[in-house]
Amino acid sequence: MTATIRDRAQREVHGAIGRVWHRSLKRALIWIIAAVLAFALASLGFLYFSPTYHMYVVKSESMTPALKVGDMVIVGPPNGFLSHEIKPGSIVTYRLEDDLVTHRVQSFDGETLVTKGDAVEEADPQTVPLSQVVGVVFLKLPKLGLLSAFLHTTVAWSLVIGIMAIAFLVIVLKDNIKSVLEKLGLSSVQAESTEGDRYG
């Protein structure tokens, strides 16, 4: 009898420890996910509003396989906090009349650059003055440009609004749903109790 009580007490203690550990782990995971999302949003906000860092979407195949159509590149000023210096092998974005071109540097004499697309056999026909360089590519986000383009469509905004509406309804009606589930649970327990009394 004493051993049975002791075993039951140990099981209850172990169960309580397991529940506490589960809640702590769940809370830690939520905090980690929230921190990662906050960091990502802060980084995107910095890049979006920064006057010297820019995000561009690759729209041609001239830099394949290094950069593919739909990739997003993040560009920073030469020798910036995050970006690198301009040197042969660097990928830079520069202005060409009303367009932006992202190509690899072949040579740089301190004032002008010779650039070339990785998928093109010959160098670009015009040299690029340093004043036309927007910045140096320091990060590539594969296919994220496609997501960015999708988020500018009506379908994407409809999905976002729909998800937000569902989340809002779940939050507002959470107590009502919980109450209904509890009532259903009590009903099933009462039904089982009645069946037990009937056949016991």
Tell me, what's the pLDDT at 152?
65
pLDDT tens by residue, the chain, 200 residues: 565 666 676 677 666 677 777 778 878 888 888 888 888 777 777 777 788 888 899 999 999 999 999 999 999 998 887 778 999 999 999 999 889 999 999 999 999 999 999 999 999 999 999 999 999 999 998 888 777 666 667 877 788 788 888 877 777 776 676 676 666 665 444 444 444 444 34
- The answer to whether 88 touches 108, Cβ cutoff 8 Å, is yes
Tell me, what's the pLDDT at 106?
97
Structure tokens at 159: 């999905």
Tell me, what's the pLDDT at 191?
43
| Sheet-wide strand order for 128-129 | 54-57, 72-76, 133-141, 91-96, 99-108, 112-116, 128-129
SS3 195: helix
What's CA 175's distance to the chain center, in Å? 31
Looking up tokens 């740089």 gives 108
Q: Domain 54-143 classified CATH 1.10.3720.10?
A: no
Tell me, what's the pLDDT at 199?
37
Q: What is the DSSP string of 132-184?
A: GEEEEEEEEETTHHHHHHHHTSHHHHHHHHHHHHHHHHHHHTHHHHHHHHHHH
Domain parsing of the chain, residue ranges: 1-49, 54-143, 153-200
CA 55 vs CA 66, 148, 160, 167: distances in Å: 17, 11, 23, 31
